[in-house]
Chains A and B, each alone.
Chain A
Amino acid sequence: MFIYITKRLLWVIPTILTVLLILFSLSYLLPGDPADIILGPRATPEMAEELNRRLGLDKPWYQSYLIYLQNIIRGDLGTSIFRDRSVLKVILNVLPYTVILTLTGMGLAVFNGISIGLLAANYNNSYLEKFLTLFSFITASTPTYIAGVLLIVIFSVNLNLIPSIGIGEGGFLSRLHHLIGPALALSVGWTGYIARLTRSSMLETLDQEFIQTEKSFGIPRSYILYKYALKKAIKPIIAVIGLGIGRLLGGAVFVEVIFNRPGLGRLIVNSVNERDLPMVRGGVLAAALLFVIANLIADISYAYFDPRIKQK
């Protein structure tokens, strides 16, 4: 196990370095001269030169890349072109919103998904089970942005129950109130997935001999279901949580745009639209780091809960 984790960690280093190289090369790949885009048509050559120096575009690419790497190690991600603020500060400002949104979304998906899955497994082969299975299929194939839009139409525009914009002012309750819609929208896709996973894992466990033995001992059904079967059936679900958090990070982009919340996703979309190069680099780097960490956790928890994977 220890060797597996070390190997996985070491493999991450070259990946991250290549990710950095790609982000670095964006300044050469993006269409148009950065100086033109930023300074506009009335810039003098001196101004362009000064900006190129600030962006590190006046040296050969490998030198600039090394400087870029050094800066990143020192925690300097550059300065936003349009906001004149440190990229790192802007990212650290919005990051908590994205993390809270993603974790709340995952929490909702796990809770709702397991509840639906247990219900379906408990009433296997009934109409309720058929309905719940179809329901899980529909939620699993609903994109996050559609869930967001439909939640706004139903609960915000028609019923006026949840706010459709912003993160709420001041108090904890107001913030929580503003979090319901976005977190629910984010959770929809994985609710269906976890429900299907729970149902099949539960049915498989209930089929096993130790459950039959317990039944023959006369232990109450609900006790067997929740105390013994669930404990065993829950393992594959825990194993996919890491994977799910990575997926939800991508979904958060849409949720933040739709509900007009601050966050890493909206920051990236806005900076791509504005062609704010240092901001795009910093934002994408933060997103990639979070994603790589989530995938790492996913792989390790997979290996922990399903030891066959380690040997591959």
Chain B
Amino acid sequence: MFKSQKFFRFKKKRIRVIKIMGNDYKAYLGGIIIMLILVSAIFAPLIAPADPYKTNVTKRLEGPSLENLLGTDSLGRDILSRLIYAARPAVLVSFGGIIISLIIGMILGLLAAYVGGVLENLILFIFDVIRAFPPIILILVLLSIVGPSLLSVIVILGVTIMPRYGRVVRADTLSEKEEDFVEAARSLGADNSRIIFKHILPNIFASVLVLSGMDMASMIMWEAGLSFLGLGLQPPLSSWGVMLQQSYQYIQTAPLMIVWPSLAIMLTMLGFSTFAESLRVALNPKLNQEV
């Protein structure tokens, strides 16, 4: 009986979340933008009108035309195609970075909350040391140690953002651990792993989900910023940050060129943050005041 009650509560909650989000224009806006990016990342070769790496020196720095809808860059490559292909590193970085953050943060957070004592203080201390650097500067220094590549950018972004998840998971686990239903499960003989996976993780899932939505936007922001400084992804790879960096040199002569990747980054961040915001409002009625 206990189990079925819980099941219905969960189902009811899910229906409520869908209902709230269905009435929120931000959910649609964010959802459509995220879908658009995912589709361009997966089907880039089918959508892109031209080869993003094919240079054509006779057609460099051209404005928008029928043949090149958004014009060409300094090597005569089609900007629209490069924009579409650049969704791939963006998606890889945001999802990859978040997964790394989540895994490390969750393990450390759970360990801190469960073991306590010296280990807990040590883990909290590691979080504090990471948070003592302005994120962009920590990322810069770490990247200069391991060298820039797609993988190192993903791992370093994940590690830099990780303390947020560690702290949230620890705080939530500590409060969930005191709940009556965990106490009940324990007295019925459930071991720690069962309690963690069946009772604690599902309950802290909501706050972690909302946080990751917001952080995926920041991951894309950091990646593009690093590539813009020449320290992230490297040309000829097509990424919005690389495109920014390359068109920045022509900002006085061909200013329109830098506008396209800028808009792409802004739109992506808007999509992730509005969707996360809508999710937050729907999942957490206590915080229902749009901050």
Binding site for B on A (CB under 8 A): 11, 14-16, 18-19, 22, 26, 29-31, 133, 137-138, 140-143, 145-146, 149-150, 152-153, 157-158, 164, 196-197, 199-200, 203-204, 246, 249-251, 253-254, 257-258, 265, 268-269, 272-273, 275, 280, 284, 287-288, 291-292, 295
Q: Which residues of A contact B274 (CB under 8 A)?
A: 137, 141
Contacts of B221 in A (CB 8 A): 143
12 chain-A/chain-B pairs, Cβ below 8 angstroms: A29-B145, A30-B145, A31-B145, A141-B269, A143-B269, A145-B228, A145-B244, A150-B259, A200-B289, A250-B135, A258-B248, A288-B132
Q: CB-nearest residue of chain B relative to A199? A: B290
CB pair B134–A287 under 8 Å, yes or no, is: yes
The distance in angstroms between the C-alpha atoms of A15 and B126, with both chains bound, is 9
**Cβ–Cβ contact B258 & A153, under 8 A:** yes
Q: Is B56 an interface residue (CB 8 A)?
A: no
Q: B231 within 8 Å of A by Cβ? A: yes
Q: Is the CB of A288 within 8 A of B133?
A: yes
Assess A200 versus B291: contact at CB under 8 Å? Given A149-B244, A268-B137, A287-B137: yes
Measured between alpha carbons, how far is A149 from B140 in the docked complex, in Å? 21
Q: Contacts A153-B255, A157-B255 known; A246 to B134 CB distance under 8 Å?
A: yes
Contact A137 B270 (CB under 8 A): yes
Residue on B with the closest CB to A253? B136
- A143, B266: Cα distance in complex, Å: 7
Check A146 against B265 for contact (C-beta < 8 Å): yes
Is B235 interfacial (CB 8 A cutoff)?
no
Q: Which single member of A153, A258, A295 contacts B259 (CB below 8 Å)?
A: A153
Asked whether, in the complex, the Cβ of A15 is within 8 Å of the Cβ of B128, the reply is yes
Question: Which residues does chain A contribute within 8 Å of B140, judged by CB atoms?
Answer: 253, 268-269, 272
Q: Which of A19, A26, A141 contacts B133 (CB 8 A)?
A: A19
Complex-state Cα separation, A257 to B227, whole angstroms:
13
Tell me how far the C-beta of A103 lies from the nearest C-beta in chain B, rounded to whole angstroms.
16
User: Taking A157-B252, A272-B144 as contacts, is the C-beta distance between A146 and B266 under 8 angstroms?
Assistant: yes
On whether the beta carbons of A15 and B132 are closer than 8 Å, the reply is yes
CA distance A145 to B262 in the complex (A): 9
Contact B255 A204 (CB under 8 A): no
Give the size category of B's interface with A: 35 or more
| Chief secondary structure at chain A's binding surface | helix
**Interface residues in B250-291 (C-beta closer than 8 Å to A):** 251-252, 255, 258-259, 262, 265-266, 269-270, 272-274, 277, 289-291
B141 within 8 A of A: yes
Query: Number of residue pairs across A and B with beta carbons under 8 Å?
Result: 127
Nearest A residue to B253, CB-CB:
A157
Contact B290–A196 (Cβ < 8 Å): yes
| Residues of B contacting A273 in the complex (Cβ-Cβ under 8 angstroms) | 230-231
The answer on a CB contact under 8 Å between B258 and A204 is: no
Q: How far is the CA of A153 from the CA of B255 in the complex (A)?
A: 6
A141 CB contacts on chain B under 8 angstroms:
217, 266, 269-270, 272-274
Closest Cβ of chain A: how far from B118's Cβ, in Å? 14
B224 touching A143, Cβ below 8 Å:
yes
Asked whether, in the complex, the Cβ of A143 is within 8 Å of the Cβ of B270, the reply is no
Distance between Cα atoms of A249 and B137 in the complex (Å):
10
Contacts of A197 in B (CB 8 A): 291
Which residue on chain B has the smallest CB distance to residue A197?
A: B291
CB pair A31 B136 closer than 8 Å: no
Within the complex, what minimum Cβ distance (angstroms) separates A189 from chain B?
10
What B residues does A250 contact at CB under 8 A? 134-137
Is the C-beta of B229 less than 8 angstroms from some C-beta in chain A?
yes
Residues of A within 8 A of B270 (CB): 137-138, 141
Bound: A240/B38 CA distance, A: 34
Which of A15, A146, A246, A249 has most B Cβ within 10 Å? A146
Residue on B with the closest CB to A130?
Answer: B25
With a cutoff of 8 Å between Cβ atoms, the chain A residues found around residue B277 in the complex are 137
Measured CA separation A250–B221 after assembly (Å): 13
**Pairwise interchain contact A14-B125, C-beta atoms closer than 8 A:** yes
When C-beta atoms are compared, the residue in chain B nearest to A142 turns out to be B266
Instruction: Tell me the complex Cα distance, A32–B245, Å.
Output: 27
Q: A141 — nearest CB in chain B belongs to which residue?
A: B269
Cβ of A137: which chain B residues have Cβ within 8 Å of it? 26, 270, 273-274, 277
Cβ-defined contact, B273 with A140, below 8 A? yes
Additional A-B contact list (9), CB under 8 Å, known A149-B262, A275-B144: A137-B273, A140-B273, A141-B270, A143-B265, A146-B266, A157-B252, A158-B255, A287-B133, A291-B134
Does B31 sit within 8 A of A, measured CB to CB?
A: no
Q: 4 smallest A-B Cβ distances: which pairs?
A: A141-B269, A250-B134, A200-B289, A153-B255
- Chain B residues near A145 (CB-CB < 8 A): 224-225, 228, 244
One of B129, B134, B141, B251 near A149 (C-beta < 8 A)? B251
**Nearest CB in chain A: distance from B209 CB, A:** 18
A17 to B244, CA, bound (A): 38
A239 to chain B, nearest CB (A): 12
Q: B45 interface residue, CB < 8 Å from A?
A: no
Contacting residues, chain B, for A288 (C-beta < 8 A): 132-134, 137
- The complex places the Cα of A26 from the Cα of B221 at a distance, in Å, of 26
- Say yes or no for B131: interface residue by CB 8 A criterion: yes
Q: Is the CB of B131 within 8 A of A295?
A: yes
Verify if B63 is at the interface (C-beta below 8 Å from A).
no
Is the Cβ of A149 less than 8 Å from the Cβ of B147?
Answer: no
Hey, which chain A residues are within 8 Å of B255, CB to CB? 153, 157-158
From 156 to 197 in chain B, residues with beta carbon under 8 angstroms from any chain A beta carbon are none
Most buried by A among B125, B131, B140, B224: B140
A143, A149, A158: which contacts B248 (Cβ < 8 A)? A149
